[in-house]
Chains A and B, each alone.
Chain A
């Protein structure tokens, strides 16, 4: 196996990437190989879908599968090898179907259909062992020995960015929000990847195209979330348990949470959010459910302890799942793209089993002391008080803004983000998003003239909100975003962060500090090219105090 898509991939003097099973994430060799084959087939689907679209044939189910399929291959989403065997079969059928539609349309229009090669012509083997033998030939590092790590790394940058895009697009689609423009562009980029590109400069340009696509997708998802559940409101969220039966919902999918809330209505069960689901508590439609009782626990990497301690069933709606402990394996359920061998999967929207489990399990015996945090500072909230913020900057009450967030993880180097947030001066504001916030979101930050110094913007995809806010501030000050007293410290772990990072780079935002490491696939050559040819900053985090000082000096 070979995988280096996430931050915790193996890095040793002997080489980079998880090359032996299990990978650091727990992925076994078969799952890794089957994911590679599925990804390859999805590129083949895109090859035909793009050409069909050019003939006027738009098949949204095909694009549904492209996004869903890619989402299953994200880090910490699906570890069930048997599921991938079936997804590979489905991908092959879908590719053949869109191929047929394309060829029929071409002939109807008096054109000779193109005969495509690469993923479009790839034939997955029937048997599992044969499939696994095919996997190295379609893995991201296929041909590395003669192509070199720079070409492979640039392809990886595009592919992993597209995986992030797919995850966000899938979340929007389940809420009924889809865009033909997005679908077409996704097909184009995957078709480009299917051509096995080798021109590094062209690939880096294409990676920025992924970033631009991701901006559209995050905007679509923002519209989906606010259109379905209202705009986030400033909300005091309870973060301690209440006596009674309980369900914990983790992951990112607000649509799944809504269904669970609806089905548990009046059943005497409290529903708590976990991890990236925290911002759900700020959406009016969701918080209107009186049994949405608050948020428990923190970021994904602590789930084995937190889930073991939770006295009810747990529902994992999207990434990030890690190996369930024996003590809770029977009471954790997966939805949508998520899977773990031996964990019960619900794919029909019926949460009866979860409700039965909640009623049978003990729940919380007592009320804990009421503890709360304040969330809900999406762009609607912040732009609503933009004049107040602008005044505070003009008066000197706010000297600097820090955007500190992204994905969390286990690396001790991530303490950097805590240090930055905690040591940001009293006349600065810390905006945060993603699960990286859990490192400091229970700390006391106070306020500046009524404006809280810690502003929780939402999930990682709410990076879109941060960009909206930054753009609005730049407009108010009649300057560019790079001229604002704003520093971005982005923690990354998986491919959604890659997509967000590419979006920020595509916008030309400079001075982003990325950590705890740079992605393994970004070779020194690629970093140097991004910096020189595209005039982008690609900085690794340094010492927290030094970076803070440098940021504030820049402001002055």
Chain B
């Protein structure tokens, strides 16, 4: 069997190298050398392990077209979990070196503190980490997610955190219930005091810390959740960059966290919020139309181009990306996370 040298250059111009055989996917080969590259589903579905091949040939296994559309494949984008080398490869990763872990991702136990319905089809789940040898703090970056093990099953589901790194050990989630979904089914009967196994933090959808451009956050449905975390982070840290939030849904009763957003605005007075409803009732006094409509209006009249943080469906992410690029925003100003069904 032939082995190939794989080199991945990270966004901050560092690199990591490992060896991969032609029969092995890149993600597993890196794992074998204790190099834990950002990833999630490991089955070509979620798109979390995307990278771009800049040199060398490879075979791409079966992938979700949502996670890796044809035009992305055409420019050399791959999912590491579905990429098998046919030569030495050089790749570019869309994250900094710091996001690569060289140790096991922590697994911990957390207690259910609260489960409440906050909107049609959306539950708020508050967990608290059980103190262990590493203490009781919940340390993560705004925008990251945790994997929660479905009780009674080995399956894990990934959910973004809505709160901020904190010393109480609190992990706050807002979860869309999916009919028949494994974790959704659990949530229907979840009880305060339940113990859940969690793994993380994971994910590279985080704030550009040294960015100087205004930050625009664009979230559809529970795509709001990691953006809430980022906004809370800005508020708690007293960050002074101009910021806007575009939160989209169809109907009023799908909206959630409106009070939380107001609380953020109290601490972050420069934050402008546009709640966009595509099918509002007559009483709705906010923006009537989709997020895309709102963005199209606002991006057209800009003096300073913003950094865009987008979270939601593939359709939303693709739409915002195309719109932003067509308005002349650089590719580097976009950070996004797609919600895909597990």
CB within 8 Å of B: which residues of A? 28, 30-31, 79-82, 85-86, 127-129, 311, 325-326, 330-331, 341-342, 344-345, 353, 356-357, 359-363, 365
Contact = CB atoms under 8 A, between A and B. Distances in A.
A311 B134 CA distance: 8
B135 interface: yes
Given A127-B304, A326-B98, A360 B207 contact: no
Interface residues of B, number: 26
Given A128-B304, A342-B237, 14 more contacts: A28-B210, A79-B210, A82-B240, A85-B212, A326-B98, A326-B99, A331-B137, A341-B210, A342-B210, A356-B168, A357-B167, A360-B169, A361-B135, A361-B167
B133 A362 contact: yes
Contacts of A311: 135
Nearest to A357: B167
A282 to B, nearest CB: 32
Contacts of A363: 135
Interface in B72-87: none
B137 A361 contact: yes
B240 A86 contact: yes
Contact of A362 (B135, B169, B210, B236): B135
A129 B209 contact: no
A128 B167 CA distance: 35
Contacts of B236: 344
Residue from A128, A311, A342 having most chain B Cβ neighbours under 10 A = A342
A345 to B, nearest CB: 7
A311 B133 CA distance: 11
B167 A129 contact: no
A356 to B, nearest CB: 4
B212 A359 contact: no
21 contacts: A80-B210, A82-B240, A82-B241, A85-B212, A86-B240, A128-B304, A129-B304, A325-B98, A326-B98, A330-B139, A330-B140, A331-B139, A342-B209, A345-B237, A353-B167, A356-B167, A356-B168, A360-B135, A360-B168, A362-B135, A363-B135
B278 interface: no
Contacts of B240: 82, 85-86
A129 B212 CA distance: 10
B328 interface: no
Contacts of B1: none
A362 B304 contact: no
Contacts of A361: 135, 137, 167
Contacts of B169: 360
Contacts of A344: 236-237
B167 A345 contact: no
B108 to A, nearest CB: 13
B interface: dominant SS = loop
Contacts of A341: 209-210
A357 B98 contact: no
A85 B99 CA distance: 29
B208 to A, nearest CB: 9
Contacts of B134: 362
Among B137, B165, B212, B303, the most chain A Cβ lie within 10 Å of the Cβ of B212
Contacts of B303: 127
A412 to B, nearest CB: 22
Nearest to A129: B304
Interface in B194-226: 207, 209-210, 212
Interface string B137-170: 1011100000000000000000000000101110
Contact of B210 (A81, A326, A356, A357): A81
Contacts of A353: 167
A502 B209 CA distance: 37
A230 B209 CA distance: 41
A30 B134 CA distance: 37
Contacts of A81: 210, 212
B207 A342 contact: yes
B209 A30 contact: no
B47 to A, nearest CB: 23
B22 to A, nearest CB: 33
Nearest to B239: A82
Interface in B224-241: 236-241
A30 B212 contact: yes
A357 B137 contact: yes
A94 B133 CA distance: 51
A127 B305 CA distance: 12
B166 to A, nearest CB: 8
A79 B210 CA distance: 9
Contacts of A80: 210
A325 B96 CA distance: 12
A130 B124 CA distance: 45
